[in-house]
């Protein structure tokens, strides 16, 4: 059996994700689609709309055969480390290829750009440092540096978010000399950051989340998600009475900031260069998470980077905690499968170099402690008794099996 891997967040699973799964399977001529999915908190520094189990259930109903969790030390990181963790898991799972959506839609520019940057690394890094000192955010500095250096007409547009992430996937595979092969398909319809729904049946996850921001009405998203996604979201509301968003965690975050010393804040992962002083100042006067972010954001720090700082603050994740787990994931946590995925897993299971976890209570390795802590904090976004109910799901339940 041939497997193709995809790296996802499914926040929530929508029609564009169905297209990605189907097209990836076809492009790779694969029998199985394996999704590596972020857990409680996501790469852009946000709590997931619904928990990992609900999103895995959506994925299995939408064309994915196996869903594995991307561990916290990789899921809540800048693009390079995020990609490194995900592609490493797909390599471990013996995938023949991985496939990502991109604005460009052709693989050759990714390969050319990777080779160009590898051959001009010192010059590139120097120009990036120059633009950072001038006050640019890292994505802006990297894009400027690349445009100043590149001389080939068929290189990537690195101002586009999916192109940037796709390049990191390619880099993660080629730099480690993995056998897994990269593939890309063209991202269709809605852009990554589009917030408004259109007449097209494919909308961005951002737009879909905005459309259900009142947390009670799902009718506006019916056109843009599979029926199964709407059913899972409605079931989540019925069971837990709420979706998750940053405002639910604002009182907890504000307490963490105001009760910690400046030195304690500086010890949190990604908090650097004195921003801890500004955090304490703005947390004292902000009445909401959005207001706090608006007050805190500067030209130097992107909204995404600050949100990731806030995630690490919320989970009390220190610099030392993360540095111990950034080479590659040390376990494989299975969240869900269908019969096709189960058959593939049966074939490769004996040769897996990492422990396969199907139930958290049966695995005691220290490497999973950050995931457990993140799940405990994530549950605090719900009211009681739903916090306890969510943690029962985390510890006690086996994988989701979609028959």
Cis previous bond, 242, omega within 30: no
What does the alpha-carbon distance between residue 333 and residue 337 come to, in Å, rounded to a whole number? 12
Residue 258's nearest CA partner among 231, 280, 286 is 280
Is 11 flagged in the annotation as binding? yes
Give the three-state DSSP class for 8. Answer: strand
Has 101 been labeled as part of a binding site? yes
d(CA 183, CA 169): 10
207 known ligand binder: no
Whether residue 14 is annotated as binding a ligand: the answer is yes
- Give every CB contact of residue 166 below 8 A, 6+ residues apart in sequence: 100, 101, 102, 104, 110, 184
13 assigned ligand-binding residue: yes
Is 162 assigned a ligand-binding role in the annotation?
A: yes
Whether 344 has a binding-site annotation, put simply, is: no
10 is in an annotated binding site: yes
7 annotated to a ligand binding site: yes
Q: Residue 116 corresponds to which tokens in the numbers above?
A: 């160009």
d(CA 371, CA 335): 13
CB 229 within 8 A of CB 16: no
Whole-number Å distance between alpha carbons of 4 and 21? 9
State the Cα–Cα distance between residues 97 and 29, nearest whole angstrom.
Answer: 10
According to the annotation, is 17 in a ligand binding site? yes
Q: How far is CA 81 from the centre of its chain?
A: 11
What is the bridge-based pairing of β-strands 66-70 and 332-337? antiparallel
Q: Tell me whether residue 168 is annotated as binding.
A: no
Is 12 annotated for ligand binding? Answer: yes
Spatial separation of the C-alpha atoms in residues 54 and 245, rounded to whole Å: 16
Known binding site for ATP: residues?
A: 7-20, 101, 162, 187-188
Known binding site: residues?
A: 7-20, 101, 162, 187-188
């Amino acid at each position: 059996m041939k497997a193709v891997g995809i790296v996802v967040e499914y926040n929530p699973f929508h029609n564009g994700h169905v297209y990605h799964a189907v097209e990836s399977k076809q492009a790779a001529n694969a029998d199985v689609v394996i999704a590596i999915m972020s857990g409680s908190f996501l790469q852009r520094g946000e709590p997931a709309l619904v928990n990992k189990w609900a999103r895995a259930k959506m994925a299995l109903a939408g064309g994915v055969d196996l869903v594995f969790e991307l561990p916290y030390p990789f899921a809540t990181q800048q693009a390079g480390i995020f990609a490194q963790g995900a592609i490493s898991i797909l390599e471990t799972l013996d995938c023949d290829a991985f496939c990502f959506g991109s604005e460009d839609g052709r693989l050759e520019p990714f390969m050319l750009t990777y080779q160009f940057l590898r051959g001009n690394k010192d010059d590139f890094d120097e120009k990036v440092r120059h633009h950072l000192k001038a006050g640019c955010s890292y994505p802006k500095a990297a894009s400027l540096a690349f445009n100043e250096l590149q001389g080939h007409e068929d290189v990537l547009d690195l101002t586009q978010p999916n192109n940037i992430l796709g390049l990191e996937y390619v880099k993660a595979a080629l730099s480690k000399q993995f056998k897994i092969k990269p593939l890309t398909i063209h991202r269709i319809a809605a852009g990554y950051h589009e917030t408004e729904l259109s007449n097209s049946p494919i909308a961005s996850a951002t737009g879909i989340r905005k459309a259900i921001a009142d947390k009670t009405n799902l009718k506006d998203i019916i056109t843009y998600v599979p029926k199964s996604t709407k059913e899972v979201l409605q079931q989540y509301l019925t069971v837990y009475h709420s979706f998750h968003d940053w405002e639910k965690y604002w009182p907890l975050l504000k307490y963490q900031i105001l009760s910690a010393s400046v030195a304690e804040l500086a010890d949190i992962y990604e908090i650097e260069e004195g921003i801890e002083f500004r955090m304490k100042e703005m947390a004292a006067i902000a009445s909401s998470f959005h207001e706090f972010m608006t007050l805190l954001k500067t030209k130097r720090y992107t909204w995404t980077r600050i949100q990731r700082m806030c995630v690490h603050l919320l989970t009390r994740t220190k610099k030392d905690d993360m540095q111990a787990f950034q080479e590659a994931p040390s376990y494989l946590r299975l969240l869900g499968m269908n019969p096709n995925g189960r058959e593939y897993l049966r074939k490769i299971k004996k040769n897996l170099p990492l422990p396969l976890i199907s139930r958290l209570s049966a695995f005691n390795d220290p490497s999973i402690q950050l995931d457990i802590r993140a799940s405990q904090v994530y549950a605090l976004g719900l009211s009681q008794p739903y916090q306890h109910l969510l943690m029962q799901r985390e510890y006690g339940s086996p994988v989701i099996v979609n028959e």
